[in-house]
Chain A
Amino acid sequence: MVSIIGAGITHFGRHLERTIVSLALEATALALKDTGLAKERIGACYFANTLGPLLFSDTTIGQNLTAAAGLNKISVVNVENACASGSSAFHLARNAILAGDCEIALVVGAEKMCVPDFGLLNSGATELDTQLGMVVPAGFALRAQRHMYEYGTTVEQMAQVTVKSRQHAALNPFAQFRQLESLEQVLSGPVIADPLTRSQCCPIADGAAALILASDEVATHFERSVQVRSSVLASGSFEEPCDLTHWDTDYRTVQLAYEKAGIGPEDLDLVECHDAFTIAEIIHYEALGLCDKGQGGALVESGATTLGGRIPVNVSGGLLSRGHPIAATGVAQIVELVTQLRHEAGKRQVEGCQLALAHCMGGDKAGDTKACTVSVLAR
């Protein structure tokens, strides 16, 4: 098995004066300091970034980070897998250690996207869907409409996801939106795509997060290490016809991660899932088996997924409130789980947290997702 021995994260938000490498360096230094290791012990770096090539014409940025940090001569892999880039980098680093390629690996996800006229993300300029007006919020709004039609999910239930998210983020100093919002405030905001109002869509952000992974031999020397019980990466089914009330890929990935970890949803103490939009969190509850299909809206309404509830979800504030610097998100989710499993999360600490799951999803294609990752961590 592989363990996480160090974690670091920057504040997520607008960092106009910072570069991708500057943010990545800060997270890397924090993670290294967390381990107390000499940096020369690191044998590989898996670096995730998605928008550098598009926004700054920068490519192969991982080596810019490792050179700046004096981590020379090691193997460096640059990873891009849309919103699941960071968690894909984590998956690859874990596999490299399992394969015996290295003993200690650095994983970094870093993104800078707060630039003028950023606009909306789409599925790629050459895709027909994009040419016919598909933008990311529209894809999720179409899911929301169909979920409401088939299961009677309400706009209030969806808005409750944001209300909960803000309550959690108020306790997280790394989050972007820490002001509480009432149900009325969420629902009266400007509509982005019917029925999703602005605060039901995750904000763009700049930020970075880093993890240091180690083999069992190394990890035994670290009291605060956290075990990776399973890690799964899958791509979409892209089956016809697409069913917008769920992602088939979501169910497949979650199921395999449970099987490999030898656990079920009832064993979990905490989940960080990919709440890019409120409806997404509701649909992910169902795929994760936290409730029956179609009951995701009722689950959030019941308070079960709020801190102190049966199964707290996105106690960090999630993408909706922490913010979503694309490639940093998948790493940030795991940093949150590590913090919680070490019982170092302060006011947002989940009591008795011993087993936790991170779920990340990236890229739209043909009504499915391009990449989905699930990791199960334990103390």
Chain B
Amino acid sequence: MTSMAEYPPVQENIFTSGESPYLLGGYCAACEIYHFPAPEVCSGCLGEVELVSLGGKGTLYSITTIRTKPPLGLPKPYRVGYVDLQQVPLRVFALLDPVEEHNLVIGQTVQLEVARLGLNSENTPCLRPYFIAANT
């Protein structure tokens, strides 16, 4: 099996790809707000943000399956949704489990995974984060 380390992330500073992956975002201590993805500056005060963990768990807010020709080498069909993160007050857009077809509904607890999925803007295979049904 090829190691994940051989593939680049779809975008830098979005997620970690270790044992229990989590999302990365920006935190502004002055405004006490979180941002995802981490912006160059805080949109509240235009000051610096700190790169922090946003956790890897959340609750599914909405979900759809896209059945037309997929972009970026994603599977057909593929699923996306919005997830309310548990650790911070953010609702983020995300890819959802590309393998299991019928296991996700609104309100469900989900957890982050990272794997090789689709192509990046240079048309090469890359790592993408996506949420799957949580174990617990």
Q: Give A residues with C-beta under 8 Å from B.
A: 119-120, 122, 125, 128-135, 137-138, 141-146, 149, 190-194, 238, 240-242, 244, 367
On chain B, the residues within 8 Å of A130 by CB distance are 71
B89-A240 in contact (CB<8A) = yes
On chain A, the residues within 8 Å of B81 by CB distance are 142
Bound: A303/B119 CA distance, A: 46
B71-A135 in contact (CB<8A) = yes
A138-B80 in contact (CB<8A) = yes
Bound: A209/B128 CA distance, A: 42
Taking CB atoms and an 8 Å cut-off, the chain B residues in 93-124 that contact chain A are 93-95, 106, 118, 120-121
Residue from A122, A132, A135, A137 in contact with B95 in the complex, judged by beta carbons closer than 8 Å: A132
Taking CB atoms and an 8 Å cut-off, the chain B residues in 1-55 that contact chain A are 10-11, 14, 33, 37, 43
**Known contacts A142-B82, A145-B62, A244-B82; is-contact A133 B70 (Cβ 8 Å):** yes
Q: Which residue of B lies closest to A191 (CB)?
A: B67
Chain A CB within 8 A of B68 CB: yes
Q: A131-B10, A134-B80, A143-B62 are in contact. List 4 more A-B contacts (CB 8 A).
A: A142-B63, A145-B106, A193-B67, A242-B82
- Nearest first, the 10 A-B pairs at minimum CB distance are A241-B91, A141-B64, A146-B62, A142-B62, A193-B66, A194-B65, A145-B62, A193-B64, A129-B93, A191-B67
B37-A128 in contact (CB<8A) = yes
Q: Which residue of A lies closest to B78 (CB)?
A: A133
B128-A146 in contact (CB<8A) = no
Bound: A238/B82 CA distance, A: 15
Q: Which residue of B lies closest to A140 (CB)?
A: B64
B91-A242 in contact (CB<8A) = yes
Q: Which residue of B lies closest to A245 (CB)?
A: B62
Bound: A192/B106 CA distance, A: 20
On chain B, the residues within 8 Å of A135 by CB distance are 66, 68, 71
Jot down 5 A-B pairs with beta carbons below 8 A, ordered by A. Answer: A128-B11, A133-B72, A142-B81, A145-B62, A193-B65
Please count how many residues in chain B sit with their CB below 8 Å of the partner chain's CB atoms.
Answer: 36
**Known contacts A131-B11, A142-B80, A142-B82; is-contact A244 B62 (Cβ 8 Å):** yes
Residue from B74, B89, B121 in contact with A133 in the complex, judged by beta carbons closer than 8 Å: B74
On chain B, the residues within 8 Å of A125 by CB distance are 121
Bound: A314/B14 CA distance, A: 42
Residue from B64, B69, B89, B121 in contact with A131 in the complex, judged by beta carbons closer than 8 Å: B121
Bound: A193/B33 CA distance, A: 33
Residue from A119, A120, A138, A241 in contact with B64 in the complex, judged by beta carbons closer than 8 Å: A138
A138-B66 in contact (CB<8A) = yes
On chain A, the residues within 8 Å of B14 by CB distance are 128
On chain B, the residues within 8 Å of A137 by CB distance are 66, 68
Min CB–CB distance A201 → chain B (angstroms): 9
**Known contacts A132-B10, A133-B72; is-contact A190 B82 (Cβ 8 Å):** no
Min CB–CB distance A188 → chain B (angstroms): 14
Residue from B67, B72, B89, B94 in contact with A192 in the complex, judged by beta carbons closer than 8 Å: B67
Q: Which residue of B lies closest to A241 (CB)?
A: B91
On chain A, the residues within 8 Å of B80 by CB distance are 132-134, 138, 142
On chain A, the residues within 8 Å of B71 by CB distance are 119-120, 122, 130, 133, 135
B121-A134 in contact (CB<8A) = no
Min CB–CB distance A56 → chain B (angstroms): 21
Bound: A193/B68 CA distance, A: 8
B61-A146 in contact (CB<8A) = yes
Min CB–CB distance A134 → chain B (angstroms): 6
A241-B37 in contact (CB<8A) = no
Q: Which residue of A lies closest to B126 (CB)?
A: A131
Min CB–CB distance B14 → chain A (angstroms): 7
Min CB–CB distance A212 → chain B (angstroms): 40
Q: Which residue of B lies closest to A149 (CB)?
A: B106
On chain A, the residues within 8 Å of B106 by CB distance are 145-146, 149
Bound: A138/B118 CA distance, A: 18
Bound: A132/B121 CA distance, A: 11
Bound: A120/B74 CA distance, A: 14
Bound: A192/B67 CA distance, A: 5
> For B10, B62, B84, B91, which residue has the most chain A Cβ atoms within 10 angstroms?
B62
On chain A, the residues within 8 Å of B89 by CB distance are 240-241
Min CB–CB distance A38 → chain B (angstroms): 49
On chain A, the residues within 8 Å of B66 by CB distance are 133, 135, 137-138, 141, 192-193
B64-A142 in contact (CB<8A) = yes
Bound: A131/B80 CA distance, A: 12
**Known contacts A133-B71, A133-B72, A241-B90; is-contact A145 B128 (Cβ 8 Å):** no
Bound: A242/B90 CA distance, A: 9
On chain B, the residues within 8 Å of A143 by CB distance are 62
Bound: A142/B66 CA distance, A: 10
On chain B, the residues within 8 Å of A146 by CB distance are 61-62, 106
